[in-house]
Structure 1
Amino acid sequence: MEMSTKENAIASNREAWNDSARHHKDSPDWQPLLCAVEQTDFSCLDETLTELLIQVGVEGKDVVQLGCNNGRESLSLFALGARHVVGVDQSGAFLEQARELATRSPHAPQFIEADVHHLPVELHARFDVALITIGVLNWMPDIGEFFHHMARTLKPGGALVVYETHPFLEMLDPEASDPFRLVTSYFRQEPFVQHQPIVYEGKVEQPAATSYWFVHTLGDLFSAAIAAGLQINHFKEYPHSNREERYDRYERQEAQMPMCFTWVVVKG
């Protein structure tokens, strides 16, 4: 993908996410979340990610979450003992929500509006741990460039923790008449294009900025990390879904597919 095309996709995705924020704040989950973050031990992280972060070691560490959305996961890192947490996202509208949640929290994260391709220099070589959760990687048109910039945030010996949807799922459409039929190639090159607002459940039939969802194979991800000078020290696949509820139908099958994975890479 040419540079101008990549930049256009990044800008359009930013606009789409800014539009999406109001739909998420209108959901029934928002008010309970405002109350929940008041607790010192608040965490929305599931058991899989919690156990991995404990294993990697977050206590007393400086942590950055890239693609932090409304900050709920960044706030959750304090329950694991993080010393300082910075959440980075390119959507100013979602960061407004993150800062609102932070005003209710006993903790004091920092939230920074930035595209990962243009990170402020003060974030370079600053963090012991970086975190990426579901969906972040697929908004990136050039995964090699993304890992190059991400790696710059880590101190030497710092670890990137990834908890993501398995790319195998991109081959399926859970809302198709036959949700188990493969509908697209694992090696798909062109992005999925959406013209409706980005929401986690259902669809909102309103015009919105075009969003671009890029497919990256596991080979793409591993090659990008290695090229960025990162060493792989953990990788595990799971049969459970960490994606939208409509993907739950793929769990507990006799011929079970991989649905998500955890991955830790370390800066040399």
Structure 2
Amino acid sequence: MDMPSAQQAITRNKAAWDASAALHKGTATWNALLASVAQPGFSCLDPTITALLQDVGVAGKDVVQLCCNNGRESLSLFGLGARSVVGVDQSRAFLQQAQELAHISPHKPEFIETDIHHLPEHLLGQFDVALVTIGVLGWMPDVALFMRHAASTLKPGGTLVIYETHPFLEVFDPRADNPLLPASSYFQRDPFVLQESIVYEGTKAEAGPTSYWYVHTLGSIVSGAVAAQLQISHLQEYPHSNREELYDQYEHQSAQLPMCFTLTATKRSV
């Protein structure tokens, strides 16, 4: 099978996300969001990323969330005291959901529809903190290029905060007969070709547009941050899952796998 160019993959992934958005409304998770975002202290952030953001310092800061999906995490940043929050995503359909949640919330984030590779000029160099959470890096054909774009949003001295799936977990197929047997190479460079809807949080998958999922080694992620003139101050790996429920089976093993990681890196002053 011929692999797509980077731009072809980005375009098809955008279409797949837009097509999947409707599957995430009317669910128990969506209904719970509608019921809770009206609270001033609302947060859907788990203890790991909450503690890290508190340590970095979000209170009184200008924050951008890159690839913000339906904006639930962007809204959560206000509960940590953020002064302003901008959520960026390429999916118009998910940003419509973000606007719906923001309308209920007492907070006023700004949501901008744009591909991370084509950020508008007014977002560059404007933020104290840039946040990237679960399920972002795998959609990026070039992780080093992504890091350059992420760094471009930060003020000098600003901090990139990442909370992501550990790439080693991608070696395993949770649907396989033996889900603990490695199913693919950690060093695979061609993307996985997906032909089902993009769903999470227990929502059942169905046939959907073709999309492309890339695995980037932890070394390539770190190297990409360094090349983007970001100084890494924190990198920690964890044995808990921060992704779909299907991956919960990998927790609490006698020989525990690394399942997710956090990274913070500061933009160097010129």
TM-score, structure 2 length as denominator?
0.96
In the TM superposition, what is the alpha-carbon distance from 1:202 to its structure 2 partner? 5.5
Provide Cα deviations, 1:84-122, integer angstroms capped at 9, x if missing partner.
Answer: 000000000000000000000000000000000000000
Note the alpha carbon deviations across 1:203-252, whole angstroms, 9 max, x for none: 4333x221100000011101111111000000111111001111111111
For the 8 Å contact 1:88–1:112, the answer to whether it is kept is: yes
Whole-Å Cα distance in 2 between the matches of residues 239 and 9 of structure 1?
A: 31
The answer for the alignment partner of 1:188 in structure 2 is 188
Indicate the residue corresponding to 2:29 in structure 1.
Answer: 29
TM-fit CA distance, 1:26? 3.1
5+ residue gaps, structure 1: none
Match of 1:47 in 2: 47
CA distance in 2, matches of 1:149, 1:254: 39
Runs of 4+ in 1 over 6 A off after TM superposition: none
Q: Deviations over 1:127-182 (max 9, x none)?
A: 00000000101100011111111111000000000000000110001111001000
Match of 1:73 in 2: 73
**Greater Cα offset, 97-106 or 28-37:** 28-37
Percent identity over the alignment? Answer: 62
2:236 maps to 236
Report SS of the residue matched to 1:161.
strand
On the 8 A contact 1:238/1:261 being kept in 2, the answer is yes
What is the letter of the counterpart of residue 167 of structure 1?
P
Q: Distance in 1 between matches of 2:175 and 2:203?
A: 10
Measured in 1, the distance between the counterparts of 2:265 and 2:128 equals 12
1: CA distance between counterparts of 2:41 and 2:204? 33
* Aligned ranges 1:150-161 → 2 under 5 Å: 150-161=150-161
Give the distance between the partners of 2:231 and 2:124, measured in 1 at CA: 19
In structure 2, relative to structure 1, the CA distance for the partners of 1:33 and 1:77 (3 Å cut) is: same
- 1:7 is matched with 7
**Closer/same/farther in 2, CA of residues 202 and 179 from structure 1, 3 Å limit:** farther
Give the structure-1-normalised TM-score: 0.97
Question: Which string of whole-angstrom CA distances, capped at 9 and with x for unpartnered residues, describes residues 20-52 of structure 1?
Answer: 100011322212211200000000000000000
Q: How far apart in 2 are the matches of 1:205 and 1:51?
A: 36
Give 5+ residue unaligned stretches, structure 2: none
- Partner residue in 2 for 1:204: 205
Cα deviation per residue 1:48-84 (whole Å; 9 max; x = unaligned)? 0000000000000000000100000000000000000
Q: Is the CA contact 1:164–1:242 (under 8 Å) kept in the aligned structure 2?
A: yes
Match of 2:19 in 1: 19
Root-mean-square deviation over aligned CA pairs? 1.4
- Contact between 1:38 and 1:104, CA under 8 Å: does it hold in 2? yes
Would you say the 8 A contact 2:24–2:203 is kept in 1?
no
The 3-state SS of whatever aligns with 1:221 is: helix
Q: Is the 8 A contact 1:129 1:158 kept in 2?
A: yes
Task: Measure, in 1, the Cα distance between the counterparts of 2:11 and 2:82.
Answer: 32
